[in-house]
Structure 1
Amino acid sequence: MGRNIEITRELSFLDHLEELRWHLIRATLAVVIAGSLAFLAKGFIFDVLLFGPSHVDFFTYEILCRVSTAFGFEGGFCFEGQMPFSIQSRTMGGQFSAHLWTSVTAGFIIAFPYIIYEFWKFVSPAMHGHEKKSARGVILISSLLFFLGVLFGYYVVSPLSINFLGRYQVSGQVLNEFDIDSYIGLIRSSVLASGLIFELPIVIYFLSKIGLVTPKSLKKYRKFALVGVLILSAIITPPDILSQILVAIPVLVLYEISILISGFVLRKERTE
């Protein structure tokens, strides 16, 4: 009897692994398909999107110029002429490699809602009926938050970093000639990091559901979270106060929203 139970459990575990494998295969296939479409749209992705922040007429710079002037940081984000740097490819396969990996990144971003859908399909059978009902909009909300983070990373974090690092010189004798992998890597990391950071409310929602965090604990460690946000802002942005403030404010707002979400989950659990 015990042997049969053990075999049944082993088969059940293997069945779950097989199911997970197919979810991962379908999610990967979605990334490949979306990435293939992005690969064909090379002109738009590179000339318009990726190289957009390398031009002085990128509209974010005009906004940042006005904001910096209003706060008394004149000249920090305002400039005329061309960007004081150039983008080069120093290896034989540099441009093709950049094209390939950029397409993979774009494929992941485009297919993100479907990836979340596959993840949800895998975990939802283990949830109770009322839990499924209360988390009904998780795919839509998590996708919206991710895309908002991607836009924030592209229109705020990337221009701040490119503006500062593109201008920075230790000596007038050293020219800023960036390799294409370095330039695209900066934008890629800024966009993906921001997209994942904006998923904080969703993470807090599920952590609250399983009882790992509460509104009380989130409020208790708010000061530490503030320090962590400032450190994170200092890492992903140039070392100037205005840039760090522009990045820190949305993250702090997300943290406060997460506290409200955790409180909602707790009240919901008490009434059920």
Structure 2
Amino acid sequence: MLKVVKAMSENQQANKFALSGDAMQAAEQEGQGTLKEHFQELRKRLLYCFIVVAVAFFIIATCFAESLVQLISVPVKAKGIEFIYVGLAEALTAQLQVSFIAAMMVSSPFIFYQIWGFIEPALYDNEKKALLVFMGCSVLLFLTGICFGYGVVFLSAITFFVYTGAGIATPMLSISQYVGFMFTFVLSFGIVFEMPIVTYVLCRIGIVTPDQLSAMRKYIILCIFVFAAFLTPPDVLSQVLMALPMIILYEIGIVVAKLTCGKKTTAEA
């Protein structure tokens, strides 16, 4: 009788181990299947984005490229300066550059929609609201930086260069260099205007504190002027016009960090 009971107990334990092993294997297979599904969905959404950008690029390059180049050339031509190209393909290259950037701008709402569609199922309701506010502020700051960089700094820099060079030499601007310089210059301002967002994130995840940001102010200002010297033309006006909003944005970032991260620290205490 004892042998029978012992055998039954051993069988039950073996069945438990077997069931446990089967459950672990099933969970592992389910996790692998879920990960594979995520990669497939990501691949599908990236493919959609690529197709939309490619179609937009083709339409803009074939129908609107020349008009767009003429449009962004207005500030220089208004000063009586005409463009030249020194390579056979330089004019075409400039049109393709403008077309690609315009295609990315036109496709950006669809790209953001695909990004949101990929990450939205994994978020709670409060996280969705916070992320929407975060993305909205990021886009608004980026567009503000582009408008400021083009409407204030870039146009002022053109005027400065034209008048300082008058009577010394005849300006002969390459169209591809102008297009590349303008977009690099303007996009740099868009990125720089994200500074409050970066400051907020760094404080939120605990890398720095508002007090540390305040203590590092003089070093950050020095780095800002060095950074502005690299991104702007070699004149004081452009450097100051870029550094000044960066300093203001840094101070705004400190204020936002104190209002948000300070409350978080107090609540945790």
1:194 to 2:216 alignment? no
User: Which position in structure 2 is the counterpart of 1:235?
Assistant: 230
- Residue ranges of structure 1 left out of the alignment (5+ in a row): 58-81
Q: Tell me, what secondary structure is at the counterpart of 1:189? A: helix
Question: In 2 relative to 1, CA 213–250 (structure 1 residues): closer, same or farther, beyond 3 Å?
Answer: same
The answer to whether the 8 Å contact 2:45/2:114 transfers is yes
The answer to whether the 8 Å contact 2:189/2:242 transfers is no
1:27 to 2:49 alignment? yes
The alpha-carbon deviation at position 185 of structure 1 amounts to 0.4
1:85-234 aligned at under 5 Å gives the runs 86-163=82-159, 176-234=171-229
Question: Residues of 1 paired with 2:225 and 2:113: CA distance?
Answer: 33
TM-score (normalised: structure 2) = 0.74
The alpha-carbon deviation at position 30 of structure 1 amounts to 4.2
The answer to whether the 8 Å contact 1:23/1:118 transfers is yes
Question: Residues of 2 paired with 1:152 and 1:181: CA distance?
Answer: 23
Which of 75, 99, 108 is 1:53 aligned to?
Answer: 75
The alpha-carbon deviation at position 51 of structure 1 amounts to 0.4
Query: What letter is aligned with 2:68?
Result: I
Query: What letter is aligned with 2:70?
Result: D
Query: What letter is aligned with 1:159?
Result: L
CA-to-aligned-CA distance 1:15-56 (integer Å, 9 cap, x gap): 3322332333333344345445543333542222x1022134
Question: Residues of 2 paired with 1:165 and 1:22: CA distance?
Answer: 48
Which of 62, 65, 73 is 1:42 aligned to?
Answer: 65
User: Which position in structure 2 is the counterpart of 1:74?
Assistant: none
CA-to-aligned-CA distance 1:53-93 (integer Å, 9 cap, x gap): 21346xxxxxxxxxxxxxxxxxxxxxxxx34xx42122232
Q: Number of residue pairs matched?
A: 243
Q: Kindly, what percent of the aligned residue pairs are identical?
A: 30
1:260 to 2:255 alignment? yes
Question: Residues of 2 paired with 1:143 and 1:213: CA distance?
Answer: 24
CA-to-aligned-CA distance 1:140-182 (integer Å, 9 cap, x gap): 322221211221222234334444555677x95x754332211
Question: Residues of 2 paired with 1:244 and 1:252: CA distance?
Answer: 12
- The structure with the largest alpha-carbon Rg is 2
The answer to whether the 8 Å contact 2:65/2:96 transfers is no
The answer to whether the 8 Å contact 1:112/1:143 transfers is no
Query: What letter is aligned with 2:126?
Result: H
User: Which position in structure 2 is the counterpart of 1:79?
Assistant: none
Q: Tell me, what secondary structure is at the counterpart of 2:173? A: strand
Question: Residues of 2 paired with 1:175 and 1:202: CA distance?
Answer: 44
- Residue ranges of structure 2 left out of the alignment (5+ in a row): 1-20
Query: What letter is aligned with 2:226?
Result: I
Question: Residues of 2 paired with 1:125 and 1:267: CA distance?
Answer: 30
The structure carrying a bigger helix percent of its residues is: 2
Question: Residues of 2 paired with 1:53 and 1:245: CA distance?
Answer: 21
1:12 to 2:34 alignment? yes
What is the RMSD of the two structures over their aligned residues, measured on CA atoms? Answer: 3.1
More off after superposition, 116-125 vs 212-221: 116-125
Query: What letter is aligned with 1:92?
Result: L
